[in-house]
C-alpha cells in the first residue's frame, strides 16, 4: 500500500494560518495608526435646518465655540468618544428607507475637519421604535443605518446638539486668555498703551463667569453703534505674545445690567451679562 506524505499539506496549512494572522495584525495596526484623535481635529460643525449651527474650533489645543468663547470640555470629550465608537448595527429596510432618509435630512448633521478637509460627515436621527439605537446616514451615502455605541444608553441626538448655549462654558474669558500676554485699556477719550497682563490678574479674569449669553442680532447691532459713537464705559483689547490682536470686549450699562460685547477681530460676537463685581475686576486691567 502506498504511503501518503502529509507533510507538504500540513506545512501549507500552517503557512496559510500564519499569513492570515499577519494580515489581520497588519490591518489592526493600520486601523490603530489612522484612528483620529481629538488633537488632530481642526473643528467640528453641528448644524440643523439651515438655522441652528455651531462650530467648535480647535485653536492650538484650546477649543472655542464659534472661535470666541470656551467649549464645555466634558461634553466635547463625550461627543468625540461617541464619534469614535459608533457602530453600525443594521441597514434600514428598503420599504421604509425613503421616509427615514427624509427624516434624517432634517436631523443634526455632524462634520469633522482635519488638516483643512472633512474626514467624517453624517446625519444622526431619532431613536428607533424599540430604543435599541438611532438612525444614522453618512452625508455622502444614500443608505441609512441603525447605529449603537457600546456602553451608551440614551438618545444619541442629545449628544450632537446644534445649540450655542449647550456648548458654551460659563467662563467667558478662559479660552482666549491662554494666548494673551498683552492688554490695553480704553475709556472714551482715553487710551492706555499695551502692557503685560499680570499673571495673577489673568487667573482672576479666567474665573469670571456669566449667567447668560445673548445672541440677539438687534442688541449686538445696537451695541456696535454705541461703541462706534463712544457710548461705552470702557473697552479692553487682548494681544498675544507677538502683540497681534486676539479679541476685544466693550462694557455697557443698560438699566441695572452690565453688558459685555465680546468679539474676535473677525465676524464672531456675543453679548454676555456680568455682575458689578466682575466689572470691577475687569477695571483692574487699567492699573
The whole-number pLDDT of residue 15 equals 63
Residue 22 has pLDDT above 90, yes or no: no
Grid cell at residue 252: 455697557
The whole-number pLDDT of residue 234 equals 95
| Res. 183 pLDDT band, cuts 50 70 90 | very high
| Res. 29 pLDDT band, cuts 50 70 90 | very low
| DSSP result, 84-102 | HH-EEEEEPPHHHHHHHHH
- Contacts of residue 179, Cβ cutoff 8 Å, sequence gap at least 6: 59, 60, 62, 240, 246
The whole-number pLDDT of residue 31 equals 43
Residue in the block written with cell 450699562? 253
Residues 163 and 52: beta-carbon distance below 8 Å: yes
Residue 6 has pLDDT above 70, yes or no: no
Please, what is the angle between helix 199-206 and helix 276-283, to 10°?
A: 160
Q: What is the DSSP code (8-state) at residue 177?
A: G
Write out the CATH class of domain 176-286: alpha beta
Query: For 23-28, what is the mean pLDDT?
Result: 52
Query: For 182-192, what is the mean pLDDT?
Result: 89
Residues 234 and 183: beta-carbon distance below 8 Å: no
| Res. 10 pLDDT band, cuts 50 70 90 | low
Residue 121 has pLDDT above 70, yes or no: yes
Amino acid at each position: 500500500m502506498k504511503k501518503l506524505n502529509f507533510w507538504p499539506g500540513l506545512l501549507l496549512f500552517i503557512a496559510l494560518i500564519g499569513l492570515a494572522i499577519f494580515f489581520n495584525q497588519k490591518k489592526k495596526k493600520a486601523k490603530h495608526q489612522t484612528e483620529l484623535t481629538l488633537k488632530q481635529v481642526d473643528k467640528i460643525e453641528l448644524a440643523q435646518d439651515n438655522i441652528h449651527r455651531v462650530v467648535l474650533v480647535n485653536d492650538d489645543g484650546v477649543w472655542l465655540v464659534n472661535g470666541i468663547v470656551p467649549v464645555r470640555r466634558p461634553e466635547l470629550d463625550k461627543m468625540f468618544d461617541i464619534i469614535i465608537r459608533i457602530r453600525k448595527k443594521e441597514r434600514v429596510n428598503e420599504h421604509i428607507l425613503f421616509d427615514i432618509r427624509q427624516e434624517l435630512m432634517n436631523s443634526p448633521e455632524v462634520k469633522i475637519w482635519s488638516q483643512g478637509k472633512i474626514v467624517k460627515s453624517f446625519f444622526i436621527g431619532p431613536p428607533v421604535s424599540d430604543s435599541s439605537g438611532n438612525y444614522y446616514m453618512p452625508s455622502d451615502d444614500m443608505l441609512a443605518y441603525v447605529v449603537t455605541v457600546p456602553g451608551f444608553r440614551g438618545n444619541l441626538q442629545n449628544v450632537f446638539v446644534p445649540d450655542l448655549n449647550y456648548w458654551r462654558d460659563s467662563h467667558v474669558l478662559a479660552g482666549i486668555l491662554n494666548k494673551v500676554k498683552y492688554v490695553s485699556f480704553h475709556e472714551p477719550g482715553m487710551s492706555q498703551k499695551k502692557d503685560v497682563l499680570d499673571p495673577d490678574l489673568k487667573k482672576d479674569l479666567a474665573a469670571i463667569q456669566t449667567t447668560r449669553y445673548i445672541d440677539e442680532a438687534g442688541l449686538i447691532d445696537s451695541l456696535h453703534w454705541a461703541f462706534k459713537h463712544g457710548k461705552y464705559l470702557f473697552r479692553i483689547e487682548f494681544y498675544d505674545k507677538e502683540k497681534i490682536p486676539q479679541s476685544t470686549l466693550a462694557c455697557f450699562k443698560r438699566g441695572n445690567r452690565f453688558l459685555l460685547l465680546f468679539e474676535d477681530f473677525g465676524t464672531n460676537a456675543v453679548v454676555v451679562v456680568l455682575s458689578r463685581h466682575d466689572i470691577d475686576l475687569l477695571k483692574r486691567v487699567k492699573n
